[in-house]
Amino acid sequence: MSETTTEKHVFQAEIQQLLDLVVHSLYTDKDIFLRELISNASDSMEKVRHLEGTEKNIKDAGDELNITLELDKEAKTLTLTDRGVGMTHDELVENLGTIAHSGTKAFLEQLKETGGSPAGLIGQFGVGFYSAFMVADKVEVFSRSWKEGGQNLRWESDGKTGYEIEEVGELPRGAKIVLHLNEASADFAEEYKVKTLIERYSNFVGFPILLEGNRVNEVEALWLKNKSEVSEEEYKAFYQFACKGFDEPSYRLHFAADAPITINALIFAPGENPEKSGFGKVDGGVALYCKKVLIDPEPKGLLPEWLRFVKGVVDSADLPLNISRETMQDSALVQKLNSVISKRIIKMFEKEATADPAKYRTFYGKFERFFKEGIATDFANKDALAKLLRFETSMTEAGEVCSLTDYVGRMKDSQETIYYLVGQSRDQIESGPYVEAFKARGLEVIYFTDAVDEYVVDSLGEFGGKKLTSIRHAGADLEDLDTEGETLSDEEVSAVCEFLKEELGDGVTQVSGGKRLVDSPVIALVPQDGMSPQVRQMMKAMDENFKDEVKVELEINPRHALIRKLSESRESNPEVAKLVASQLLDNALISAGLLDDARETILRMNSLMEKAMG
Ligand code: ADP
């Protein structure tokens, strides 16, 4: 080499501006400089891999591709060496002295547009290499390009106004970056500190990272592999080690997509509900990566809130490395990811449920509340989520469940709506007066027995274009039944109804002779817009002064012996008839879960019993 000359260069004005930002305000979290440099090193070695397929004369071809880190506490330096493509003189000038690459350029353009206030933009764009100046007051880059006859170069800058380039003695191919750490960042020469950072951000980088001679990153980025290349054991180990799963995963989704956004995802549904037995809400368990480099371990907005129980990795090469936590949720890219991934996850559950209903049943038993939360909160996915619901119905055996799709498939031709009832249990629902009319007509009724189901059904409203109708409400259009046995005449029915209406006064809006009932004498129906018993319970629990007037519509069963007797005793024994009228209403309210105060009921019962015994 001839005598060395040192060229002095001045940074482009934009770079100076950028450096000023980087150093003073851009990153709140200066740790990330290491992630940026390791990413650059990894990208550069990726390029070597490609070149090895096409080019013949690559300097040091065949050398192992790795990243080494050396620390010197005395000298306060951190040195990162890669065996990538390196840079020629012109590339050094272009890449590290001007704003040639898109991310930074876009950053500065945005900065100009917003009138120079970096606050909202900070971290949105990659400024990669320059982040080194957050921790270093001097940076040296030793570089040897892969190209034949390339020079051995040293670039140096204090990150203020300019940089120097000079030729140096023989170097291996690649880049060696020496950070002369500033006072406040001296701890980046500590091994434990650097190790933690690598494990956190760069664990899945596809090249060995050696820190002081020891390999740090161990885990393979399974999500980028082809499904067929990954064994069950590897998946399980990944779940347990990388996702910190303490149980066996129950399901997994591994997919790659190119449109509308590049995604490689590996997502697990755990075996156990992490929120069971009062552990409280867990944080999202899906980490966001860009080309194997961690962007955020708990990205906000990547998945809908209700999916917080799943664990895994989403990797999108389309994301800027430095997308910040603040802007994450507003990012159109992240919203796209959210939409694509949540749809895929729901589809996966649907498929698994069909493939192995028993397994899904067990899973559902532990995780149904998440799906239900989704129906109530995730408008875009609520219809798809409804397909995941399972429940018993008047046509399933006790303990057997089915889906809304099953239900709709069984609906009668004439049936327009999906009938359901919310109650505490199958037994409780079936012992009440509501279901019998539907059973008698061969109409299936869904039994919702979870405390939150009332809200879930309310949010859902309909399924597959069919309205969900509570059979607690008046107005179900039921066809006549050919019933045998004695019944009251139409005139007698009207008379009994009138009598009841008079006796019960404001407690009932209407009394009618209905077709609903088979075995029960009377039923209380609440108006369509009325509060459900579950909601009333809630209101009462929250507000001790809560009072609402219960107004129901009574439907009587003209075939029932009690009603027929009432029709007679109305005139023959009005005293008892009056007591019976009130008692019938209370009984109906008890069945409806709407009786608030039973004191009067008990007193009346007592006098009825007395009378019965003469
Ligand atoms: P980005 O990585 O987003 O392009 P950087 O500021 O980190 O932005 O890097 C600018 C350019 O410098 C890169 O695009 C690459 O061409 C070059 N470069 C950075 N680090 C290295 C390296 N270790 N080896 C080779 N080239 C590098």
Q: Are 370 and 310 in contact (CB under 8 A)?
A: no
Distance 125 CA to ligand 1 centre (A): 14
Residue 320 and residue 127: Cα distance in Å, rounded?
A: 10
| 85-105 per-position pLDDT tens digit | 999 999 999 889 876 555 556
Q: Are 107 and 78 in contact (CB under 8 A)?
A: no
For ligand 1, the distance from its centroid to the CA atom of residue 95, given in whole angstroms, is 6
Summarised one tens digit per residue, pLDDT across range 387-443 is 999 999 999 999 999 999 999 999 998 899 999 999 999 999 998 889 988 998 899
Q: How far is the CA of 338 from the centre of ligand 1 (A)?
A: 30
- Check: CB of residue 488 under 8 Å from CB of residue 541: no
Q: Give DSSP secondary structure letters for 400-461.
A: --B-HHHHHHH--TT--SEEEEE-S-HHHHHHSSSSHHHHHTT--EEEE-STTHHHHHHHH-
Q: Amino acid letter at 264?
A: N
pLDDT for 594 equals 84
Most informative mutation of 36, 40, 147 for ligand 1 (most atoms within 8 A of CB):
40
Taking the centre of ligand 1 as the mean of its atom positions, its distance from the CA of residue 130, in whole angstroms, is 10
Specify the residue for token string 């609520």.
382
Using alpha carbons, list the distances in angstroms from residue 475 to 128, 420, 434, 505, 576: 66, 14, 13, 21, 31
CA of 114 to the centre of ligand 1 (A): 27
For the Cβ of 40 lying below 6 angstroms from any atom of ligand 1, the answer is yes
DSSP3 helix / strand / coil % (the chain, rounded to 5) = 45, 20, 40
**Distance from the Cα of residue 540 to its chain's centroid:** 32
Residue 1 has a pLDDT of 45
CA-based nearest residue to 554, from 579, 601, 589, 530: 589
Residue 192 has a pLDDT of 96
Q: Which residue from 60, 233, 244, 37 is spatially nearest to 152, judged by alpha carbons? A: 60
Distance CA 155, CA 247 (A): 51
Say yes or no: CB of residue 157 within 6 Å of ligand 1: no
Q: How far apart are CA 251 and CA 182, in angstroms?
A: 48
Query: What is the whole-number distance in angstroms between the Cα of residue 327 and the centre of ligand 1?
Result: 24
Q: What's the distance, CA 450 to chain centroid?
A: 21
Per DSSP (E only), the strands in 455-610 are 462-463, 466-470, 508-513, 522-525, 552-556
With a 6 Å cutoff on the Cβ, whether 26 touches ligand 1 is: no
* SS3 state of residue 356: coil
DSSP 339: H
Distance CA 373, CA 459 (A): 10
Q: Whose CA is nearest to atom 10 of ligand 1?
A: 95
Does ligand 1 come within 6 angstroms of the Cβ of 423?
no
Report yes or no: 205 and 87 within 8 Å, Cβ to Cβ.
no
95 CB under 6 A from ligand 1?
yes
Contacts of 451 (CB under 8 A, 6+ apart): 534
The response to whether residue 370 sits with its C-beta less than 6 Å from ligand 1 reads no
Q: How far apart, in whole angstroms, are the C-alpha atoms of residue 200 and residue 66?
A: 18
Q: Which residues pair with 177 in a beta bridge?
A: 80, 141
CA of 207 to the centre of ligand 1 (A): 17
What's the maximum distance between 2 C-alpha atoms anywhere in the chain? Answer: 129
Neighbouring C-beta atoms of residue 91, cutoff 10 Å: 17
Distances (CA, A) of 425 to 43, 316, 421, 429: 59, 46, 10, 6
Residue 206 contacts residue 293 (beta carbons within 8 Å): no
In short, whether 175's Cβ falls inside 6 Å of ligand 1 is yes
**Ranges of the chain with pLDDT below 70:** 1-4, 25-28, 99-127, 277-279, 321-330, 475-477, 482-483, 530
For residues 522 and 587, the answer to whether their CB atoms sit within 8 Å is: yes
| Cβ of 320 below 6 Å from ligand 1 | no
131-145 tens-digit pLDDT: 899 899 999 999 999
Neighbours of 84 (CB within 10 A): 25
The tokens describing 609, both together, are: 């019993």
**Of residues 252, 181, 192, the one with CA closest to residue 222:** 252
Atom of ligand 1 nearest to the CA of 47: 25
- List domains and CATH numbers for the chain: 6-215 (3.30.565.10), 222-353 (3.30.230.80), 489-527+542-614 (1.20.120.790)
* CB-ligand 1 contact for 42 (6 Å cutoff): no
Write down the pLDDT at residue 591: 86
Question: How many CA atoms lie within 13 Å of 36's alpha carbon, on the beta-carbon side?
Answer: 23
Report CA-CA distances (Å) from 74 to 176, 189, 190, 386. 19, 9, 11, 63
141 CB within 6 A, ligand 1: no
128 lines ligand 1 (CB under 6 A): yes
CA neighbours closer than 13 Å in the CB half-sphere of residue 597:
7
Which percentage of the chain shows pLDDT scores above 70?
90
Write out pLDDT tens, residues 2-47: 456 899 999 888 788 778 877 775 556 788 889 889 989 998 998 8
Name 575's Cβ contacts closer than 8 Å, sequence gap at least 6: 611
Residue whose CA is closest, atom 25 of ligand 1?
86
